[in-house]
Amino acid sequence: MKKISLMLILKLVHLLLAVLYLIFAAFGKWAKRGDPDLGAFDAEGGTGYGIVAVALAVALVVLALMRLGGRTRVLPGLGVEQLTVILGIAAWMNMIAFMVGWLATFPAGTGWGAVAAYFAASIIPQVGMLTLSAQEPDPHVQPIEPGKRRVFSIIAAVMGAGIALFPFMAWLTAGDISLSAMDESAGNPRSGPRFGFILLIAGIIVCVGALMRLRRQGLAEPGPNALLGHALIAAGAVAIVLPVATWISIVRFPADLGAGIGLWLALLAGVVMVAVGFVENRARGAVGA
């Protein structure tokens, strides 16, 4: 009975956080550029990051309702709890990228909506991981065959290396000027690092983990209900969300901006990494995990 009560509490907390994240993201102010401040959908406000944040918030609310309704699986190899963690991480990184990346490049004050949405998004993955740790391990998950493990690991290592390196290439162009995802705001050394460090760290972790998995003994799973395939999907989701949010921002920004090759390569690497995670989970027979 205590376990059921704990699970219900975690599900309700998830729903509350997802609803708050949606409210803050959709109706809060994202950028201070005078009076009035600008919201998620404004071209000089939340731009693409605001649009992506609202889309992720809607998905997280739907997942919370699915959890309360007793649903465990979204797709073969991807459960509701795991997708909550994956999208929660993507939502969290999207907020960080906006505040330390986009606003640092096009200086403006951070609005209260973005700050509040950041805190709500940062807690959602933790609630999801607590829920996963409180459940019994999925009995359907099987060890992966050595040959398939090597193939998946090599692909993940290559994509991880790419995700780590692509932020150093051009992400944003304006005439003869090009900025990588690692550059600081031109003429403002106090602006801090751009969001490329998020991808750099994620790519290095994936690459190192994939190389370690090539060993005979492989690599330990993140948890009883969190497979290495889920970790790949999470890293891939971040590598997809950041380029998409940046591209939408570039298209909508009232200036002659363009997307560089680094953005498109990072997006491609993210898509491949998500695909590898899905295929691996299905190959292992994961049902609700």
Residue 67 CB contacts under 8 Å (≥ 6 apart), including other chains: 11, 14, 15, 80, 81, 84, 131
Q: Kindly indicate the confidence band of residue 1, based on its pLDDT and cuts at 50, 70 and 90.
A: very low
Average pLDDT over residues 246-273: 90
Instruction: Say if residue 189's pLDDT is above 60.
Output: no
Nearest to 247 by CA among 191, 198, 181, 185: 181
Dihedral-angle region of residue 163 (phi above 0 means left; psi in -120 to 50 means alpha; beta otherwise): alpha
Instruction: Note the pLDDT of residue 2.
Output: 43
Instruction: Note the pLDDT of residue 193.
Output: 60
The answer to whether 101 touches 238, Cβ cutoff 8 Å, is no
pLDDT single digits (tens) 90-138: 999 999 999 888 887 777 888 899 999 999 999 999 888 887 777 766 6
Residue 201 corresponds to which amino acid?
A: I
pLDDT single digits (tens) 198-231: 999 999 999 999 998 888 877 777 777 778 888 8
Instruction: Name the pTM for this structure.
Output: 0.89
Nearest to 286 by CA among 7, 34, 78: 78
Q: Kindly indicate the confidence band of residue 274, based on its pLDDT and cuts at 50, 70 and 90.
A: very high
CB atoms within 10 A of CB 261: 13
Instruction: Say if residue 167's pLDDT is above 60.
Output: yes
pLDDT single digits (tens) 11-56: 899 999 999 999 999 999 998 877 677 888 888 888 899 999 999 9
Instruction: Note the pLDDT of residue 4.
Output: 61
